[in-house]
Amino acid sequence: MNSLAMQHMKTLFGIEWKLFNRIKSNYIFVVLLPVMLLMAMQFVQEQMKLDEHGLDAGPLMVSTACGILLIFSLYSSVTGLYVARREELVLKRLRTGEVSDPVILAGGASMYIAVCVVQIVAVSALLSLMFGAVPQQPLAALGGLVTGILLMTAMAAATAALCRTVESVLVATLPAVFVLPMISGIYIPREVLPQALGDALMFAPLSPTVDLMRSGWTGELALGAGLARGILAIAWTALFAWIAMRRFRWEPRT
């Protein structure tokens, strides 16, 4: 990315930050969601018999929390952002200048990406302290975070293509919000499912990210397995990016 693109990214980040900062209630969501997650993780740990399945609660809670934050803080927010800016003709005006399409989308999402990263780092650190978990493969966790961000941003752009208005965002994101956590090992660890089903769900879109994040604390993935999970995540990202490039609308439907 050249210096001009970086400048455009910085400018778009600043604009979105100012708009976000104008509505102080946004900070309630930023703080409240991680707090609710921490409380929920503690409750889940007390209710689920993870030891019977050979699962370490700490790494599992970290990967679960990270997956939830990627979906709710990043995917849902960025989908709504793209549709809102399209309806406001912001995207159309930006395209008349020298800003490239990928920079417009990445720059618009950059503020929410930053918020999501801060939330994930804070929650992961607190859960590690709560459960006495120590990261074993920091690079795997970093790989999971990066692939998750890329995947959720690409998926948000693809989903925004389906939305006619801001009001339709809630309906369009429902499948990912409800189904994705169920099939990606976020709500239900694959180890507690029948083996055939668990093996099949390894190929779900967000499963590689969850696996890499958990391996960051358990060290369970060897180098080859970690690379394979990363490649699968990139493949899903490329698919959603391709859909977005073909279907994304830059101005309101008439």
Poorest-pLDDT segment among 15-29, 65-79, 177-191, 236-250? 15-29
- pLDDT 10s digits, 29-66: 777 777 777 777 666 655 666 666 667 778 888 898 89
For residue 49, the model assigns a pLDDT of 62
Distance CA 157, CA 162 (A): 9
For residue 211, the model assigns a pLDDT of 95
Give domain status of residue 254, yes or no.
no
What is the torsional sign of CA 85, 88, 91, 93?
negative
Structurally, the chain folds into a number of domains equal to 1
Give domain status of residue 253, yes or no.
no
Tell me whether residue 21 is exposed, middle or buried, using C-beta atoms within 10 angstroms of its C-beta: 0 to 12, 13 to 18, 19 or more.
exposed
Give domain status of residue 51, yes or no.
yes
Q: Are 106 and 10 in contact (CB under 8 A)?
A: no
pTM: 0.92
Instruction: Compute the average pLDDT of residues 242-248.
Output: 92
Structural domain range at position 242: 3-247
For residue 136, the model assigns a pLDDT of 92
Distance CA 219, CA 141 (A): 10
- pLDDT 10s digits, 65-122: 899 999 989 999 999 999 999 999 999 898 887 888 889 999 999 999 999 999 999 9
